[in-house]
Homo-oligomer: A and B are copies of this chain.
Amino acid sequence: MSPFLQQLERAWEKNDSLVCVGLDPEIERFPAHIRDAPSPIFQFNRSIIDATAGLVCAYKPQFAHYAAYEAEDQLERTIEYIHRAHPGLPVILDAKRGDIGNTAERYAIEAFERYGADAVTVNPYLGGDSLEPFLRHAGRGVAVLCRTSNPGAVDLQDLEVGGRPLYQAVAELAARRWNSRGNCLLVVGATYPRELAQVRALVGDMPLLVPGIGAQGGDVEQVVASGCTAAGTGLIISSSRAILYASPGEDFAQAARAATAGLREKINAARRSRPT
Protein backbone atom coordinates (compact mmCIF):
# COMPACT_ATOMS: atom_id res chain seq x y z
CA MET A 1 0.00 0.00 0.00
CA SER A 2 1.32 3.45 -0.86
CA PRO A 3 2.45 5.69 2.02
CA PHE A 4 -0.34 8.15 1.20
CA LEU A 5 -3.00 5.43 1.45
CA GLN A 6 -1.49 4.20 4.70
CA GLN A 7 -1.68 7.71 6.11
CA LEU A 8 -5.25 8.09 4.92
CA GLU A 9 -6.35 4.74 6.36
CA ARG A 10 -4.83 5.60 9.71
CA ALA A 11 -6.63 8.96 9.73
CA TRP A 12 -9.95 7.33 8.78
CA GLU A 13 -9.52 4.93 11.68
CA LYS A 14 -8.00 7.18 14.34
CA ASN A 15 -10.63 9.91 14.03
CA ASP A 16 -13.42 7.54 12.95
CA SER A 17 -14.15 10.05 10.22
CA LEU A 18 -14.52 10.34 6.45
CA VAL A 19 -14.81 14.14 6.68
CA CYS A 20 -12.35 16.37 4.85
CA VAL A 21 -12.45 20.11 5.58
CA GLY A 22 -11.92 22.23 2.47
CA LEU A 23 -9.80 25.25 3.32
CA ASP A 24 -11.19 27.81 0.84
CA PRO A 25 -10.56 31.21 2.40
CA GLU A 26 -12.86 34.11 1.53
CA ILE A 27 -11.50 37.00 3.56
CA GLU A 28 -14.71 39.02 3.27
CA ARG A 29 -16.49 36.25 5.19
CA PHE A 30 -13.96 36.15 8.03
CA PRO A 31 -14.92 37.62 11.43
CA ALA A 32 -13.81 41.26 11.62
CA HIS A 33 -11.10 40.68 14.22
CA ILE A 34 -9.34 38.23 11.92
CA ARG A 35 -10.00 40.04 8.66
CA ASP A 36 -7.89 42.97 9.87
CA ALA A 37 -5.10 40.91 11.48
CA PRO A 38 -1.75 40.23 9.79
CA SER A 39 -1.76 37.00 7.69
CA PRO A 40 -5.55 36.72 8.12
CA ILE A 41 -5.87 33.58 5.99
CA PHE A 42 -3.30 31.68 8.02
CA GLN A 43 -4.83 32.90 11.31
CA PHE A 44 -8.30 31.82 10.16
CA ASN A 45 -7.10 28.44 8.90
CA ARG A 46 -5.14 27.72 12.08
CA SER A 47 -8.23 28.29 14.21
CA ILE A 48 -10.32 26.08 11.95
CA ILE A 49 -7.66 23.37 11.92
CA ASP A 50 -7.15 23.34 15.69
CA ALA A 51 -10.92 23.17 16.22
CA THR A 52 -11.49 20.28 13.81
CA ALA A 53 -8.29 18.19 13.73
CA GLY A 54 -9.72 15.42 15.90
CA LEU A 55 -12.77 15.05 13.67
CA VAL A 56 -11.41 14.77 10.13
CA CYS A 57 -9.46 12.43 7.85
CA ALA A 58 -7.85 15.15 5.72
CA TYR A 59 -7.68 18.84 4.82
CA LYS A 60 -8.07 20.15 1.29
CA PRO A 61 -6.86 23.71 0.61
CA GLN A 62 -8.13 25.04 -2.72
CA PHE A 63 -5.27 26.72 -4.59
CA ALA A 64 -7.28 29.43 -6.40
CA HIS A 65 -8.47 30.91 -3.12
CA TYR A 66 -4.86 31.61 -2.16
CA ALA A 67 -3.60 32.67 -5.60
CA ALA A 68 -6.34 35.26 -6.04
CA TYR A 69 -5.19 36.91 -2.78
CA GLU A 70 -1.47 36.63 -3.69
CA ALA A 71 -1.27 34.51 -0.54
CA GLU A 72 0.94 31.60 -1.60
CA ASP A 73 2.98 32.15 1.57
CA GLN A 74 -0.10 31.61 3.74
CA LEU A 75 -0.89 28.40 1.85
CA GLU A 76 2.66 27.19 2.58
CA ARG A 77 2.28 28.09 6.26
CA THR A 78 -1.12 26.41 6.48
CA ILE A 79 0.17 23.08 5.15
CA GLU A 80 3.30 23.28 7.27
CA TYR A 81 1.12 23.98 10.32
CA ILE A 82 -1.12 20.96 9.73
CA HIS A 83 1.89 18.67 9.44
CA ARG A 84 3.58 20.11 12.53
CA ALA A 85 0.63 20.55 14.89
CA HIS A 86 -1.45 17.59 13.79
CA PRO A 87 0.91 14.98 12.33
CA GLY A 88 -0.72 12.11 10.46
CA LEU A 89 -3.47 14.15 8.82
CA PRO A 90 -2.96 14.24 5.04
CA VAL A 91 -3.25 17.48 3.08
CA ILE A 92 -4.74 17.31 -0.42
CA LEU A 93 -3.82 20.36 -2.50
CA ASP A 94 -6.82 21.00 -4.74
CA ALA A 95 -5.12 22.57 -7.76
CA LYS A 96 -6.60 20.51 -10.63
CA ARG A 97 -3.35 20.68 -12.57
CA GLY A 98 -3.07 19.35 -16.08
CA ASP A 99 -0.10 19.87 -18.36
CA ILE A 100 2.53 17.95 -20.24
CA GLY A 101 6.16 16.88 -20.07
CA ASN A 102 8.52 19.16 -18.22
CA THR A 103 5.67 21.52 -17.30
CA ALA A 104 3.82 18.75 -15.45
CA GLU A 105 7.07 18.01 -13.65
CA ARG A 106 7.19 21.64 -12.50
CA TYR A 107 3.64 21.36 -11.16
CA ALA A 108 4.59 18.20 -9.27
CA ILE A 109 7.55 20.06 -7.74
CA GLU A 110 5.23 22.92 -6.81
CA ALA A 111 2.67 20.65 -5.11
CA PHE A 112 4.89 18.10 -3.39
CA GLU A 113 8.12 20.01 -2.69
CA ARG A 114 7.24 23.68 -2.47
CA TYR A 115 3.91 23.23 -0.67
CA GLY A 116 4.64 19.81 0.82
CA ALA A 117 1.19 18.47 -0.02
CA ASP A 118 0.49 14.78 0.57
CA ALA A 119 -1.78 14.60 -2.47
CA VAL A 120 -2.87 16.83 -5.35
CA THR A 121 -5.90 16.95 -7.65
CA VAL A 122 -5.23 16.69 -11.40
CA ASN A 123 -7.23 16.85 -14.64
CA PRO A 124 -7.21 13.83 -16.99
CA TYR A 125 -7.96 15.61 -20.31
CA LEU A 126 -4.30 15.52 -21.43
CA GLY A 127 -3.95 11.79 -20.80
CA GLY A 128 -1.73 9.39 -18.92
CA ASP A 129 1.64 10.97 -19.73
CA SER A 130 0.42 14.24 -18.19
CA LEU A 131 -0.35 12.38 -14.94
CA GLU A 132 2.84 10.34 -14.79
CA PRO A 133 5.06 13.17 -13.39
CA PHE A 134 2.70 13.26 -10.39
CA LEU A 135 2.10 9.52 -10.08
CA ARG A 136 5.80 8.72 -10.04
CA HIS A 137 5.94 10.41 -6.63
CA ALA A 138 4.85 7.04 -5.27
CA GLY A 139 4.57 8.28 -1.69
CA ARG A 140 2.01 10.91 -2.58
CA GLY A 141 -1.62 10.66 -3.69
CA VAL A 142 -2.90 11.81 -7.08
CA ALA A 143 -6.64 12.47 -7.26
CA VAL A 144 -7.84 12.48 -10.87
CA LEU A 145 -11.03 14.35 -11.78
CA CYS A 146 -13.62 11.82 -12.91
CA ARG A 147 -17.24 13.05 -12.49
CA THR A 148 -17.49 16.57 -11.11
CA SER A 149 -20.36 18.08 -9.16
CA ASN A 150 -21.26 21.03 -11.44
CA PRO A 151 -24.13 21.10 -13.96
CA GLY A 152 -21.74 21.58 -16.92
CA ALA A 153 -20.02 18.29 -16.10
CA VAL A 154 -22.38 16.71 -18.62
CA ASP A 155 -20.77 18.63 -21.53
CA LEU A 156 -17.82 16.25 -21.78
CA GLN A 157 -17.94 13.76 -18.89
CA ASP A 158 -21.28 12.21 -19.88
CA LEU A 159 -20.55 11.90 -23.61
CA GLU A 160 -20.83 8.27 -24.62
CA VAL A 161 -17.58 6.54 -25.61
CA GLY A 162 -17.65 2.86 -26.45
CA GLY A 163 -21.02 2.30 -24.79
CA ARG A 164 -20.40 4.12 -21.51
CA PRO A 165 -19.95 7.76 -20.47
CA LEU A 166 -16.49 9.34 -20.66
CA TYR A 167 -16.18 9.58 -16.87
CA GLN A 168 -16.42 5.78 -16.66
CA ALA A 169 -13.69 5.49 -19.28
CA VAL A 170 -11.58 7.70 -17.00
CA ALA A 171 -12.39 5.46 -14.02
CA GLU A 172 -11.31 2.40 -16.01
CA LEU A 173 -8.06 4.07 -17.10
CA ALA A 174 -7.37 4.97 -13.48
CA ALA A 175 -8.03 1.45 -12.23
CA ARG A 176 -6.19 -0.38 -15.02
CA ARG A 177 -3.26 1.89 -15.85
CA TRP A 178 -2.76 4.97 -13.71
CA ASN A 179 -2.93 3.13 -10.36
CA SER A 180 0.05 0.85 -10.97
CA ARG A 181 1.76 2.25 -7.85
CA GLY A 182 -1.41 2.20 -5.74
CA ASN A 183 -1.44 5.99 -5.26
CA CYS A 184 -4.26 7.04 -7.58
CA LEU A 185 -7.61 8.40 -6.33
CA LEU A 186 -10.64 9.70 -8.21
CA VAL A 187 -12.73 12.83 -7.67
CA VAL A 188 -16.47 12.18 -7.94
CA GLY A 189 -19.03 14.81 -6.96
CA ALA A 190 -21.53 14.17 -4.19
CA THR A 191 -24.38 15.49 -6.31
CA TYR A 192 -24.46 12.37 -8.49
CA PRO A 193 -24.81 9.31 -6.21
CA ARG A 194 -25.73 6.96 -9.05
CA GLU A 195 -22.55 7.89 -10.90
CA LEU A 196 -20.63 7.46 -7.64
CA ALA A 197 -21.92 3.88 -7.35
CA GLN A 198 -20.93 3.15 -10.96
CA VAL A 199 -17.42 4.47 -10.36
CA ARG A 200 -17.10 2.44 -7.14
CA ALA A 201 -18.07 -0.69 -9.06
CA LEU A 202 -15.28 -0.03 -11.59
CA VAL A 203 -12.38 0.83 -9.26
CA GLY A 204 -12.50 -1.62 -6.35
CA ASP A 205 -11.33 -0.04 -3.11
CA MET A 206 -9.65 3.01 -4.69
CA PRO A 207 -10.30 6.07 -2.47
CA LEU A 208 -12.79 8.57 -3.88
CA LEU A 209 -12.57 12.26 -3.04
CA VAL A 210 -16.15 13.54 -2.90
CA PRO A 211 -16.75 17.29 -2.92
CA GLY A 212 -20.21 18.81 -3.10
CA ILE A 213 -21.57 17.92 0.32
CA GLY A 214 -23.07 20.89 2.14
CA ALA A 215 -23.26 24.12 0.15
CA GLN A 216 -23.62 22.24 -3.13
CA GLY A 217 -26.41 20.06 -1.78
CA GLY A 218 -25.14 16.49 -2.01
CA ASP A 219 -27.03 13.98 0.15
CA VAL A 220 -24.91 12.28 2.83
CA GLU A 221 -26.84 9.02 3.10
CA GLN A 222 -26.86 8.47 -0.65
CA VAL A 223 -23.15 9.25 -0.89
CA VAL A 224 -22.28 6.75 1.83
CA ALA A 225 -24.57 4.07 0.41
CA SER A 226 -23.20 4.58 -3.10
CA GLY A 227 -19.53 5.17 -2.47
CA CYS A 228 -18.27 3.36 0.64
CA THR A 229 -16.16 0.24 0.29
CA ALA A 230 -17.17 -3.02 1.98
CA ALA A 231 -14.97 -1.92 4.91
CA GLY A 232 -17.13 1.20 5.32
CA THR A 233 -14.37 3.59 4.26
CA GLY A 234 -12.97 4.50 0.83
CA LEU A 235 -14.40 8.03 0.84
CA ILE A 236 -12.95 11.45 1.57
CA ILE A 237 -16.08 13.57 1.88
CA SER A 238 -15.19 17.22 1.57
CA SER A 239 -17.14 20.21 2.85
CA SER A 240 -15.84 23.76 2.77
CA ARG A 241 -18.19 26.73 3.13
CA ALA A 242 -20.76 24.98 5.34
CA ILE A 243 -17.99 24.41 7.89
CA LEU A 244 -15.72 27.46 7.47
CA TYR A 245 -18.53 29.98 7.59
CA ALA A 246 -20.91 28.19 9.96
CA SER A 247 -20.85 31.37 12.06
CA PRO A 248 -19.82 34.86 10.96
CA GLY A 249 -18.86 35.87 14.49
CA GLU A 250 -15.99 35.38 16.89
CA ASP A 251 -17.29 31.87 17.64
CA PHE A 252 -16.49 30.77 14.04
CA ALA A 253 -14.06 28.05 15.11
CA GLN A 254 -16.46 26.50 17.62
CA ALA A 255 -19.22 26.68 15.01
CA ALA A 256 -16.91 25.02 12.49
CA ARG A 257 -16.17 22.29 15.03
CA ALA A 258 -19.89 21.73 15.61
CA ALA A 259 -20.60 21.62 11.86
CA THR A 260 -17.74 19.15 11.33
CA ALA A 261 -18.92 16.98 14.22
CA GLY A 262 -22.45 17.06 12.82
CA LEU A 263 -21.36 16.00 9.35
CA ARG A 264 -19.10 13.30 10.78
CA GLU A 265 -21.94 11.90 12.88
CA LYS A 266 -24.37 12.01 9.95
CA ILE A 267 -21.86 10.11 7.82
CA ASN A 268 -21.13 7.62 10.59
CA ALA A 269 -24.84 7.00 11.18
CA ALA A 270 -25.18 6.27 7.47
CA ARG A 271 -22.16 3.96 7.61
CA ARG A 272 -23.68 2.05 10.56
CA SER A 273 -27.03 1.62 8.84
CA ARG A 274 -25.61 0.37 5.54
CA PRO A 275 -26.88 -3.04 4.46
CA THR A 276 -24.04 -5.53 5.02
Contacts and interface: CB of A to CB of B under 8 A. Distances in A.
A114 B64 CA distance: 12
Given A68-B107, A107-B68, A154 B127 contact: yes
B154 A159 contact: no
Could you tell me the dominant secondary structure of chain A's interface residues?
helix
A148 interface: yes
Contact of A166 (B70, B154, B156): B156
A153 B129 CA distance: 8
A150 B130 contact: yes
B129 A151 contact: yes
A124 B169 contact: no
Contacts of A67: 72, 106-107, 110, 114
A124 B166 CA distance: 13
Interface string A118-139: 0000011111111100000000
Interface string A154-191: 11110111100010011001000000000000000000
Contacts of A98: 96, 98, 123, 125, 145
| Interface magnitude class on chain A | 35 or more
B125 A152 contact: no
A99 interface: yes
Given A64-B103, A67-B106, A72-B70, A152 B126 contact: yes
A125 B124 contact: yes
Nearest to A66: B106
Contacts of A100: 148-150, 152
Interface string A79-114: 000000000000000001111111110110110001
A65 interface: yes
A24 interface: yes
Contacts of A99: 62, 64, 96
Interface of A: 24, 26, 62, 64-65, 67-68, 70, 72, 96-104, 106-107, 109-110, 114, 123-131, 145, 148-157, 159-162, 166, 169-170, 173
Given A67-B110, A127-B157, 7 more contacts: A67-B107, A68-B109, A123-B125, A125-B148, A130-B148, A156-B166, A159-B161
